[in-house]
Amino acid sequence: MVTDKIAVVTGASRGIGREIAKTLAAKGATVIVNYNGSAAKAEEVVKEIEEAGGKAEAVQCNVSEFAKAGELMDYVVKKYGRVDILVNNAGITRDNLLMKMSEEDFDAVINTNLKGAFNCIKQISRQMLKQKSGRIVNISSVSGVMGNAGQVNYSASKAGVIGMTKAVARELASRGITCNAVAPGFIVTEMTDVLADSVKEAVTGQIPMKKFGETKDVANLVAFLASDEAAYITGQVICVDGGMAM
């Protein structure tokens, strides 16, 4: 259960993050819906949660900035007294073939996807150690498990998230804090909607289950890993990908 837990979900205004926020709220958590760009979309998520009887609040923060991530965590701890669950979901893509990829595109993806996760974990770890409890769930990707052409930056960032997950899990395990990674495959979101039909067909051919996943497939797993039922699971990477990376 996650009843009465305080959860911070980064990049929660759309896609997988949105579904994670709604699922945690539906299961009884108070959810901080973090967003960077779209206040309107974040408020939409909060409204949906509240209309369903849940509790949520939208808070703007660019998690790729270390000090800003600290301000976000300080705000939540000051207002709610604790942070029980941190879901590092904020992520961007700047896809291109290696030969055409700019240094700027590489750095931008690493800064948000990998450093953003580090910033948030680092800034809340002292509080979780004080609580002697906490659930950290990092959203990686099958691209970080098996690599993907045209995604050198993204694959590197998401593979980095996996390494960081395992190191953090080892460091914090004795204090009742778990850290796990979820690696989604191709999930139906705004990010995959823009793919050409020919690309979708080619990708579907590589998935044993022959279909894209739904955001709820990822959110349900995250909610489980964030719950008391997953107290003895840490340092794991679980793919939600229809068998793609096996």
Q: Which residues are catalytic?
A: 154
Beta bridge mates, 57:
32
Which is nearest to 31 in space by CA: 86, 92, 69, 74? Answer: 86
| Residue 56 DSSP symbol | E
- Which helix (H) or strand (E) is 138 found in, with range? strand 134-139
DSSP reduced 3-state for 141: coil
In the chain, the N- to C-terminal Cα span, in Å, equals 30
Residue 140 gets the label, from left (phi > 0), alpha (psi -120 to 50) or beta, of: beta
Which is nearest to 136 in space by CA: 1, 4, 3, 9? Answer: 9
DSSP per-residue letters across 87-124: EE-------B-GGG--HHHHHHHIIIIIIHHHHHHHHH
